Structure 1
Amino acid sequence: MTSYEQILELADRQFDGSATPDEIAQLETLLADDAGAQKAYLRYALMNGQLPLSPPALGKPTIAPTEPVAAPPKVAVPSRHRQRWYVGVWMSVAASLLIAITIGIAQYAANEETPDELAQSSYDNRQPPLGMVGKLGADELGPMTLSVEQGETEFASNGGANVRVTGPGMLGVNSPQGGVLYNGAVHAKPESPESRFSVTAANLRVVDSGTEYQVAMLDDRHVRVEVLNGQVDVQSRIRLPLYYWHFDDPAEAAHSAVAAIATPMTLGEKTKRVAGIIGSGAVRFDNTPASFVQIDEGTGGEVGEGGMACSSGITLEAMFVSNWSGKPFDYDEIFRKEDGVYRILLSFQNDGDVGDYDQPEVTPGPCLSFGLHIEKQGYSELDMPLDGRDGRPTVAELTDGRPHHVVATYDSFSGRKSIYIDGELRFEHQFPVGGLILCGGQAPAVIGNMWRMQEPFAGVIDEVALYDFPLTADEISAHYVNASIGKRYFGEESGPLAAGRWRSVTLVTAGMPRIFDKQTGEPVDVLIP
C-alpha cells in the first residue's frame, strides 16, 4: 500500500470515528513534512465535510420517503435529499482540520483557492458527492425513489420532460431521461420534440420519442401503456449478461455459439491460465498480491457512470474451486469493484465484523459476503455465515476441491438480496421495495482480488458474469444444471451474446392503449378502447 493510500484509509477511519489513537498518530506522521500529502488530505477533509450539507434538489410536501428498515452503516454517506444534520461528520472534520493546523497545513489553506474551488478539485473518488450520481445536472436531483402517498407530485427532468407521479405510487428516478416504476402511475410530457423520459418496470421498458404518454401499474404483474400523442416503443429486456468472462482460448471463443464480447483485461504475474471448469480456460490464483485479473473497461468518471453501473437490480455469477483458509482476517475476493462505499463485492471473509456492515446482523465468523450500496440504506453486506445451519454451507463444503456455483442477486422490485450456492437459495435479506443501487465509478473491477491487490483468492475462478438485473430462481437453477454437466450457463443453443440490453416488442400509438406483462415485456391483450 502506498503512503497516499494509507492516508486516505486512515482518513476514512478518522471521519467515521473508528480510528484509534495509534492510527491518528500514524496519520500525523504520514502527513508531516509532505506538502503533497497535506494538500490531498485537506481536499478530502473538506469534501467529506461538505457532503452532508448538500441541499435537496427536490422537496415537495407530497413526497413521503421510504423508511429504512435499519440504521445505515456507520460510514455511509447521506443522500442529497435526506434532510438531517450530521453532527458526527462535522466533529470528525473539525478533528481533521485540527490535525491540519498542527502540522502546518494552515499555510496551504490560506492560499487563493476558495472552498468551492477546492471541492471541484481532484480528490480520491472512493466517496464522491452522492448528488452527482444519476447525472440529472451538477446541482440537481440525484438518484432517489419518490413515494407519493396520495395525490400527485410533479417535477421537471433534466432530459426536458415534465413528469407527474400519481399516488399511491413509487418512482425511482435513476437518470436524466428515465425512471423505474414500482407502483402507481407516471405521466411524462415533453417540453420539446427532443425531450425524452423512458419508464422501466422490471423486464419492460417504454421508450418515447418526444411524445406524451402514461404508464400505470394495474397489479403486481400488469402494466397499462397509453399514448396521448405520437407513439412509444415498448421493449423487453434481453436476459443475458452485461459482462461475461469465460477465460477460454480466444480462438475457441470466437467460434463458440455463446462467445462473449471481448473485454480488455490485465492478468497479474501470479495469475495462471488453466483448464476450464467449463470450456477450455479458467484462471488460477495463488493467494498472493500479484494474483489478480483487472478488468480494463466499464469504469466511469464518477459513481453512477460506466458500463458496470447498475440501478434497479444486479446479479453476480461465477464458478469456483476454493482453497480458502477460513482463518480470521483472511479475505478471498471473487469479484470487487472498489468505489468506496459504493462498491460491488462478492468475497469470502472472516473479519470479526469489522465496519459493522452486515445486514442482517450475524454472528462473526467465516462468511460469504455480498456488498452493495442501496439508496436510503447505505452500504451493507449480506454476510452468509458458513456454519452449516438452516441450509447454509460450511467452509469445508465450499473448499472440498470440487467446483461450486455461486450467484448473488439484488432486486429493487422485491427488495430481496440473496445468495445462491449450487442452484439453491442459501441466504437472503428483505429490504424495502424501491431502493436503487448506487455503484459504478472510476475504480476498475477486479476478479480474484481487490484494487489494492491485498485480498487475493486461493483457487480457480471461471465463468464470471455480471448482469444489470436480478436472475430468477428458475434461471439460477437452470444455469447450475447446465454448469454441472459442463455446459455454459445459457446453454449451447442460446446464440451469441450481444451488447444490446433490450429488444423492441411493439409500438403503442395514440388512442390505442395496451396492457403488458412486466415480467416478460410481452402484450397480454388485444387492442383496447
Structure 2
Amino acid sequence: MNRTDEFSDIRDIADSVCNQSATPEQMAKLDVLLKGNPQAQRFYQEYIELHVQMSSEVVPNFEVVRRRMMVDEVIVRPTNSGAQPPLENSPASTNQPTAFNQSSSSKSDNSIWPIIIAALIIIPLSVVVLLQFLKNDNYNNAPAHILSGQLQINGLGKIENGHLAPGDYQNIQATQVKLLSGDILHFAEQSSFKLYNATEIELKAGSVVIEANSKNNIIVLADGFTIHSNGDNVEIDLANYQPTIQAQGRAVLIPKRWRPKHYWSFDGSNDRAIDFSGDATGIVSKGAKRIKGLVGAGAFEFDNSKDARINVGSGGGTVPASGSFAVTDGVTIEALIIPEYSGEGPKNGRFGEMDEIFRKDQTDKDHRMLLSFQNDHGKTNLRPAGEFDESLSFGLYILGQGYHELKLPLDGVDGRPTLAQLKDGKMHHVVATYDVKSGLKAIYLDGKMLASYQYPAGSKMLSGGSGLANIGNSPNQPNSAKEAYAGVIDEVAFYDFALPAKRVYQHYQNTKKGRNYFGLTPSAQPLPETIQIRLLSEQIIKLDPSTGLPVD
C-alpha cells in the first residue's frame, strides 16, 4: 500500500482544506487522524506543500518522466532535475546516434502515450487549482487577506488585491492579517511565516498575536513546538533565544521533545519489565519482587541481594556513542523510590554501602552512567570536590573533563534532607540531569534542585556502548550484593535530553496526584507520541528552544 492510499482520509480532508471547503466536522476528524501519528503529520504537511507549489505558478514547472524498470513508474519532478550538463569531448555530445540510441528511441516512441496522458491530467489540474484562486469572485475564499501593513512573498506564495494564497511570507513593518475564520493575526515587524490554510500557519521568525474572533482552533507551528489556540487569544514570540507564549487558559502547547528514550512504568503483568517508550525491556531477577505501584498498578521491591536487579540490556550499543543510551544533547535519569539504604560507611578502604538506582557500566568503564546512594571517602573524581558521608551520587563522562560524580549530601543542611528523613517510608522523586548546551549538571529531590555543578557551556558527554544497564544493582557485580538496592523503585525513565527544572517539578506534582510523570492516567500501554500541556491563563511562559518544554 502506498502512502496516498494509506492516508486516503487525510488526503481527502487536505483537498477540502486546499479549496477552502473543509467543514468543522472534517477539521475535527483531521485532528484525530494526525494526533500522535508523525507519519500522518508528515504526509499532511508534504501534501499541503505540494498543493502550494502546484498553485504558485500559472505554468507548472514540472515534467512527467516514465522510467522502465521491473515495473513502470510515473514521476512528477521539477523541470531539468534529471538533465545533466554536456560533458566536453564526450561521445554523447555528437549528432551521430549509436545503435543503443536508436533502440532507445524506438522504445520511447512506443511509450509516448502514457506520458501524454499523465501530462494532460497533471498540467490542467494544477492550472485549475491556481485559477480557482485568481478569479476575482473567489477572493472571499482565500484563506487570509491583509488588513494593514505589507507582506512580501518569500519563495512560494501569491498576493492578489491583498488576498493571500497558501505560501511563505515576510514583513518589514507590523502587519495585520485576517483569516477566513474571522480571527486576526498581528505580526510584529521582521516576522516571517508560512500560511497553510485558514486555520494553520508556521511561524518562522518574529512574533504573532492571535486575536480570537471565533471559536476556531488556530494552529501555529514553530521550531520546537506547536500551539493550538482552542479559541484563545494567544501571543507567541520567537524574537529571543527562549520563545515565549501567553494565552488565556484554553490554548495548549505540544512540545517537540518530551518523551523519554526508555520508560519502565512497571505496570505490566508479565514477568518482564516492559519498556513503554523504547526497546529496552528488562529481565527481572528473583531479588526484585513485583508489588503495588507507587503510581499505577506495579512497582518492584528490591531485597538488597545479588539478585536484586532488572537487566535492561545495552540499548543495542557496540562501541562508545552507540546504542539508545548514547546521548548528545544531555541526559535525564528519573525514578520514584522508597529507599531502605543503610548508609553504612567504609570499614576497610574507601567504599561503604552503595545502593544503585540505575547504572550502565561494564565495558563502558569511564563512560559509565550511574545514579546511586553512596557513602565513600577519598574520591578524586567528585565535582565539586569534597568529603561526603551518606549521599545521592550522579556520575557520567564529560568530554575534556573525564568521569565525574556529583554528590547530593544527605546531611539536613541548606534544605537537603537527612537519610533518616528520606527513609520515612513515603514515596520520593529523584531526578538527575545534565544539559550539554548550558553545561549544568544537577540532582533534584521531590521537585527541588538540591545539588548542581557548572561545566563550561557546550561540554559534550560520552555514553552508550556495549555495557549492560541495571535497575537496582550494578552490572559489574553479577554475583555480589555490594551495590544492590534495598527498597522500592517505580517509574524509571531515561531521556536523551535534560528536563528543565519546571518540568521536573511538574512531574513530581503529577505523581502526587496519582498520575504518571506526564499527567496521564497510568496504564500498561506505550506512551503516546505527543502530549498537550495546557497553558495557564495570563502567564508569560518561556520555552526551552530545543525541546519546546516550559522552563519557568
**Scaled by the length of structure 2, what TM-score is found?**
0.47
Higher Rg of the two aligned structures? 2
